[in-house]
A and B are shown apart, each in its own frame.
Chain A
Amino acid sequence: MAQLNAQGQPYEDDAPEPDAPVAAAQASTDAIDDLLAEIDGSLQVNAEQFVRSFVQKGGE
């Protein structure tokens, strides 16, 4: 049984390890979704016209 500290929470060391990366991955996916939600409006404005207007000559 997990050892409990004064607040009744398991000590950090007792936390099951495999959860940590999964939680981190979920947190970063959430962060990406939040960022996309934030910029969604500006990306949608005339997206097609914006993209089409980016034409250059080849370089090198």
Chain B
Amino acid sequence: MNPTDIPPPLEVEPARRIFGLETEFGLHLDAGPGRPVTPEEVAGHLFHSVVQWGRSSNVFLPNASRLYIDVGAHPEYATAECDTLTDLIASDKAGERIVHALIAGGEERLRAAGVDGTIHLYKNNTDSAGNSYGCHENYLVRRRADFKAFASALLPFLVTRQIVTGAGCITRTPSGAHYSFSPRADHMWEGMSSATTRSRPMINTRDEPHANAELYRRMHVIVGDSTMAEPTTLLKMGATDLVLRLMEARVPLPELTLAREMQAIRDVAHDLTGRATVELADGRRLTAVDVQQEYIDLVRGHLGGIVEPTEEVARILDLWQRGVDAVRTQDFTPVETELDWAIKHRLVTRYRSRLGCPLDDPRLARLELAFHDVSPQRGLFYRLQDQGLVRRIVSDADIERAVSTPPQSTRARLRGAFVERALAAGRDFTVDWVHLKISGSSGTTVLLKDPFRNEDARVDGLLEMLEHA
């Protein structure tokens, strides 16, 4: 093949999908009394080493993921394109290690600037003042003319899945505190729109596929909580993928359109008993347990047909059912080592009984932050996981590999190799999700429109040029 030829799009099995996860981390400087330090200054010090090698605080890494400082001085990590859920989980967890590795350098620079403090990074979704930041899920879907109708059909599922995939949180109100399924639910303002910060929708409809736009669109789900436990991430992404697979195969979904989505998502979030009902457009009232059970039954009905009954699908369905049953029976023990909200609920309950305090005690809020701390040593989630109190999906070796190595079965492989070689050669380069370019070269920009393609002669040509640079 002539290295300038753009290869045709690959024929891809309908079940094969590109996944991505974007995580905004909470950034917290714990310092004694002294001069005030803005989050921007802390973020600047944290990213100093990144800017040193990348000449920017917005970079692509050799593992093909993207690392940057987002709106609001949040460190953000976006995984590379993954076409398996295990690759995705490993890449997502690698992101925690990558941002954590910046802390020591950041603290050192702060000390040099006269601030003695400890930097914490939290994989959570709210700060103490009630500001929210997100965890965005990306599912590549086949383009269709009726995308808005297609996407809105997913809303009843997204509103109710928090009873299994929520991160759990203590909600403080003027009349007291209670434990909720999802910290994110209260920050959703509408079902769908193309905005994110001005008006937070559950699905962002900005048409930005980062791929061949004639073939693909991106389902950009921004209603989810950041999740710590690997099985929760598996269920969050896996159950959503299964529902999307049926929708893409044009399977008629059960009629579950909600009358008022914003009311429904809040009512579900704040009712740990699972007995609160949501109003459907047809006037019926169902619980979130009822709604989720409809989706589980729907997927089960297509096992062996549209849905290939793999071990992973069985695992997702099993956890999904056990999660729904836990809420229905109010016995959380069957999922208390797998689902974030249940793991955290158990922790909060035990600590509260130890302290004999009300739920709005600041020490419990402190416990919540410790749970979401990404530090492998300090983070409470990792202390639990190390003791075998949280189940695993991938191994530490998988995660460590994903810190430096891109997923091998997608476009990420090409980008990762390019970034790694260009850095090694000391050449300036430009890279984004779909472009690769060596600065000052003959000017050829390689456009990678097919996220499923992991081999490309044009990229081999670029790597060759870097080799002989």
Contacts and interface: CB of A to CB of B under 8 A. Distances in A.
B90 to A, nearest CB: 24
A54 B384 contact: no
Interface in B57-96: 70-74, 76
Given A33-B350, A52-B128, A53-B28, A60 B384 contact: no
Contact of B128 (A29, A37, A54, A59): A54
A55 B354 CA distance: 28
Contacts of B351: 36, 43
Contacts of B380: 35, 39
B350 A60 contact: no
Contacts of A43: 351, 363, 366-367, 370
Contact of A58 (B28, B72, B367, B387): B72
Contact of B131 (A36, A50, A55): A55
Contact of A55 (B128, B136, B346, B383): B128
Contacts of A39: 370, 380, 383
Given A36-B350, A36-B354, A58-B197, A51 B365 contact: yes
B114 to A, nearest CB: 18
Contacts of B259: none
B133 A60 contact: yes
Contacts of B39: 56-57
A13 to B, nearest CB: 25
Given A29-B350, A40-B354, A55-B128, A60 B71 contact: yes
A51 B128 CA distance: 6
A50 B30 contact: yes
Contact size range, B = 35 or more
B133 A56 contact: yes
B363 A60 contact: no
B363 A47 contact: yes
Given A47-B366, A59-B132, A60-B222, A33 B354 contact: yes
Contacts of A55: 127-129, 131
A51 to B, nearest CB: 5
Contact size range, A = 20 to 34
A35 B362 contact: no
A52 B366 CA distance: 10
B26 interface: yes
A58 B133 contact: yes
B177 interface: no
Interface in A1-57: 25, 28-29, 31-33, 35-37, 39-40, 43-44, 47-48, 50-57
B26 A54 contact: yes
B196 A60 contact: yes
Interface string B124-146: 00011101111010000000000
Interface string B274-312: 000000000000000000000000000000000000000
23 contacts: A32-B384, A32-B389, A35-B383, A35-B387, A36-B347, A36-B350, A43-B351, A47-B365, A51-B365, A53-B128, A54-B26, A54-B122, A54-B369, A55-B127, A56-B72, A57-B39, A58-B71, A59-B24, A59-B76, A59-B131, A59-B132, A60-B24, A60-B200
Interface of B: 24, 26-30, 39, 70-74, 76, 120, 122, 127-129, 131-134, 136, 196-197, 200, 222, 333, 337, 346-347, 350-351, 354, 362-363, 365-367, 369-370, 380, 383-384, 387, 389
